[in-house]
Amino acid sequence: MAAFVGIDLGTTNSVVARRNAYGRPEVVPNRDGANVTPSVIYFGSDPPAIGEEAKEWARLGDAEIASFFKPHMGSPLYQLEFRGKTYSAADLSALVLKRLKEDAEAAMREVVDRAVITVPAYFGDAQRKATIAAGEAAGLRVMRIINEPTAAALAYGLNRAADVEETVLVYDLGGGTFDVTVARITPGDVAVLATAGDHDLGGKNWDDRIATFLAEKFAEETGFDPLDDPVALNEVLVRSEQAKWTLSERTSARVTLQLGAERKTFEIGRDEFEAMTAPLMDRTRRLTEEALAEAGLDWRRLDGVLLVGGSTRMPMVRSYVAKMAGKPPRTGVNVDEVVALGAAIQAATEAGESIGDARPTFTLGSAPPPRKVVDVMSHSLGVVAVAADGRSYVNDVVIRRNVPIPADGVRTYMHATHGGANTRLEVYLTQGESASPLDCTVLGKYAFDGIAATDAEVAVDVGLSYDADGVVQVRATQRDSGHRLAMTVEPVPDDLSWLAGPPRAAEDSAPGRTRVMLLIDGSSSMMGEPMAEARDAAREFLGRCDFTRMEVGLISFATDVALQCGLTSNVRRLSAAIHRLEAEGSTNLADALEMARGSLVADDARRYVVLLTDGFPDAAEAAVEQAQAAQAQGIEVVAIGMGAADSEYLARLASGEAASIFVHGGELVRAFGHIARVISEGGRSMRILDR
């Protein structure tokens, strides 16, 4: 039977753990007998060297080194080339994982074919998918992805009495990342209440501070700035990290730099080090407070703080935690190994061989029962939508951060197909908290096709879900038919700057305005009630227009055609013109259309004629010709009929099936309102339903 392991695939170091014969998790040493394998690859040898040997080459300043690639998992921009081959961060991680698997197999003397792999809690969808892909490329079935701090809490919980309930904070400061998690450990489960983090904050930043300090001093004394020279810089960075380690043990460190012919020795005090890195500690403090606030807790309510990651060996971290929590952090766990141990526990649970299940009778004490892991995601997931007022694009959060996963959320959006002209809905998936889409990460673009063509707007249910690994799925269903729409995943366009602007129709790429000429039938049949209703409808129309980017004009047509109001954004003038509308004589639609064409000259604006008639016009064919000429000019013609109007004739005037409507008495106002809204929205593909 093949075996499974838990893997902490770290930015700087990786660790493998397994469930031992006593049902307890333990670290599996690598081929060098070490518990920790540096996540470093050296491509100067064939095959590439991985781990401690590669790190040795890196120390010597060799260029054929890949390290620190984990933060770039899933990024299409991160591509390294070695010996004519290109590697993504996932390819590099796969090499490390393959090495870990081989070493574990040698140590365990069995085939390892499955693993739980941990990731930082802040890892988003692309990074999680890339981690799974890397595991599979290394020949491992990825049983589950769990968050590193959650794994730590799981391992930690194992050492506690089976019946205690505790709320703990996991403060995880590694080489390149910081994660802070608040978790509730009960006998039955480990439930993560909140998490926050920064993927660009870790021990490396502390090294950089020392390096900058040393480089400045060196430049001052010798005139040579090591920051200008890659080999010298590497040397300074290596010495800086060593000085940092020393400062974890002692109150001062001596650093000797031999760069070229110059040799200088410097002294750094711990106080000095802590002062220069105070801004970095502040960043961890802010994120910690953010996580506590999300969990609705404060420091005093915590039962304990668990430190994870090599950088928590720095005394400043310990004193900060002790000061805030009012008690020292929990000890007794190895900060480098605890995550892998947690992963091994989870792997056993996934395999149905829960830790503690196979408790041999000769063990003393009791292994606690398996705990279910209830994890959360540190990012909210949403989609780009048009705000309810139609004026901007917004990030509409569908699944809030810090809700337990797996999680699912559905939102309904209205989609205008314009009678079949636009049966595709484009969903931009976002990750982030901001209402502004450009402040979020756009994770993907999903196109849904096959929305049934109708005149009205169609309600589409867009569903997002996180699975237990935190991987995202997207789906869409047409609400009325229950029809699941076909999905195509498309590349996210490089240029998303349009998200900052006002929404526009997809077909209207020029930054234009919208012009609408209203043509109202003033023939004698409209006298009385119909004309009153037409006036109300026209007012309703105005009420729905966005006059920041629209101009509307009014033409009445009876025996004579009159321009009651030229194109304007002035609502008062338009209202006055509507008030003046009267009914008398016949129906000269053809001339009215010609007049409208003359006003709606070709420019970058979207142009519409919206006409209302209650019967056949005088020169019916001439009117159709004018309507067609208007369309040829790029003007969209919307024809609304009432009373004795003929719907087949209306269809011949209108630009498309959806653009001709026959309304019965009492519906006119609503119909005009609807048309104004569609025009005003600029045929944009999606908007938020009033909720």
Q: Which of 3, 7, 12, 525 binds ligand AMP (CB under 6 A)?
A: 12
β-strand 381-386 against 393-399: which pairing, if any? antiparallel
Cβ 52 to ligand AMP shortest distance, Å: 13
Q: How far is the CB of 249 from ligand AMP (least distance, A)?
A: 7
What does the DSSP assignment read for 246-268? HHHHSSEEEEEEEETTEEEEEEE
Q: Report how far residue 145's alpha carbon sits from residue 126's, in angstroms, rounded to the nearest whole number.
A: 13
State in angstroms the smallest separation of the CB of 153 from ligand AMP: 16
Closest distance of CB 503 from ligand AMP, Å: 44
Only segment of 10-18, 280-288, 359-367, 441-449 that touches ligand AMP (CB under 6 A): 10-18
Give whichever of 175 and 226 is closer to ligand AMP, judged by the CB atom: 175
Stretch of residues binding ligand AMP (CB under 6 A), selected from 4-12, 70-78, 191-199, 481-489: 4-12
Per CB under 6 A, the list member of 3, 6, 7, 13 interacting with ligand AMP is 13
Q: Contact at 8 Å (CB) between 436 and 399?
A: no
Residue nearer to ligand AMP on the CB measure, 145 or 237: 237
Query: Cα 140 to chain center, whole Å?
Result: 28
C-alpha to C-alpha distances, 630 to 480, 556, 594, 654, nearest whole angstrom: 35, 17, 8, 10
If the CB atoms of residues 36 and 612 are measured against ligand AMP, the closer one turns out to be: 36
d(CA 526, CA 585): 10
Nearer Cβ to ligand AMP, position 248 or 378? Answer: 248
| CB 199 to ligand AMP: min, Å | 12
- Report the relative pairing of strands 189-198 and 178-185 from DSSP bridges: antiparallel
How is residue 368 written in tokens? 């606690």
Contact pattern for ligand AMP over residues 328 through 357, marking x by CB under 6 A: --------x---------------------
Distance between CA atoms of residues 440 and 124, nearest Å: 12
245 binds ligand AMP (CB under 6 A): yes
Using CB atoms within 10 A of its CB, is residue 83 exposed (0-12), middle (13-18) or buried (19+)?
exposed
Mapped onto helix, strand or coil, the DSSP state of residue 44 is coil
Smallest gap from residue 18 Cβ to ligand AMP (A):
20
Please identify, using beta-carbon distances, which residue of 310 and 370 lies nearer to ligand AMP. Answer: 310
Beta carbon of residue 27, minimum distance to ligand AMP (angstroms, whole number): 13
- Comparing CB distances to ligand AMP, the nearer of 248 and 346 is 248
Q: What minimum distance in Å lies between the beta carbon of 11 and ligand AMP?
A: 5
Per the listing, tokens 């999905």 go with 487
Element (H, E) at 463: strand 457-466
Looking at 175, 370, 553, 615, which residue binds ligand AMP (CB under 6 A)? 175
Nearer to ligand AMP, 195 or 248 (CB): 248
Residue with the shortest CB distance to ligand AMP: 203
Interaction between residue 422 and ligand AMP (CB under 6 A): no
Show the binding pattern over residues 189-228: x = contacts ligand AMP (CB under 6 A), - = does not.
Answer: -------------xxx------------------------
Q: Compute the least distance from the CB of residue 36 to ligand AMP, in Å.
A: 7
| Minimum CB–partner distance for residue 35 and ligand AMP (Å) | 11
> Which class for 418: exposed (0-12), middle (13-18), buried (19 or more C-beta within 10 A)?
buried
Q: Which is nearer to ligand AMP, 35 or 75 (CB)?
A: 35
CB of 37 to ligand AMP, least distance (A): 11
User: How many whole angstroms separate alpha carbon 546 and alpha carbon 390?
Assistant: 9
248 binds ligand AMP (CB under 6 A): yes
Nearer to ligand AMP (CB atom), residue 11 or residue 380: 11
Q: How far apart are CA 332 and CA 71, in angstroms?
A: 29
C-alpha distances (whole Å) from 562 to each of 1, 550, 553, 593 are 90, 21, 11, 11
83: left (phi over 0), alpha (psi -120 to 50) or beta: left
Cβ distance to ligand AMP smaller for residue 72 or 244 = 244
Collect all residues with Cβ–Cβ distance below 8 Å to 478 and sequence separation of at least 6.
451, 452, 458, 459, 460, 461, 485
Backbone phi and psi for residue 119, each to the nearest 5 degrees, phi listed first: -135, 160
**At 305, which amino acid appears?**
V
The residue count for binding ligand AMP (CB under 6 A) is 19
Residue 369 CB, nearest distance to ligand AMP (Å)? 29
Site string for ligand AMP, 652-691 (x = CB under 6 A): ----------------------------------------
| Cβ distance to ligand AMP smaller for residue 313 or 424 | 313
241 versus 636: smaller Cβ distance to ligand AMP = 241
Question: According to CB under 6 A, which one of 3, 5, 9, 11 is a site residue for ligand AMP?
Answer: 11
Residue in the block written with tokens 């999300």? 294
When asked if residue 241 is in the footprint of ligand AMP (CB under 6 A), the reply is yes
* Closer residue to ligand AMP in complex, CB, 13/181: 13
Nearer to ligand AMP, 309 or 419 (CB): 309
Instruction: Compose the 301-320 pattern: x for residues touching ligand AMP by CB under 6 A, - for all others.
Output: --------xxx-xx------
Least separation in angstroms between residue 174's CB and ligand AMP is 3
Residue 68 near residue 75, CB atoms below 8 Å:
no
For 54, 88, 107, the CA distances from 45, given in Å and listed in that order, are: 10, 19, 24
Counting contacts by CB under 6 A, is residue 93 touching ligand AMP?
A: no
Query: What is the C-alpha separation between 151 and 16, in angstroms, rounded?
Result: 13
CB-side neighbour CA atoms (13 Å) of 172:
34
Minimum CB distance to ligand AMP, residue 202 (Å): 6
Residue placing its CB nearer to ligand AMP in the complex, 337 or 540: 337
For ligand AMP, the binding residue among 6, 135, 174, 522 (CB under 6 A) is: 174
Tokens read off for 76:
């299409």
Q: Are 189 and 279 in contact (CB under 8 A)?
A: no
Smallest separation (angstroms) from ligand AMP to the CB of 15: 8
* Cα gap 3→16, rounded to integer Å: 13
Minimum CB distance to ligand AMP smaller for 122 or for 672: 122
Point out which span in 8-16, 259-267, 435-443, 569-577 binds ligand AMP (CB under 6 A): 8-16
Q: Which residue has the tokens 């314009």?
A: 418
Q: HEC states along 588-622?
A: CHHHHHHHHHHHCCCCCCEEEEEEEECCCCCCHHH
Cα 431 from Cα 160, distance rounded (Å): 36
Residues that bind ligand AMP (CB under 6 A): 10-13, 174-175, 202-204, 241, 244-245, 248, 309-311, 313-314, 336
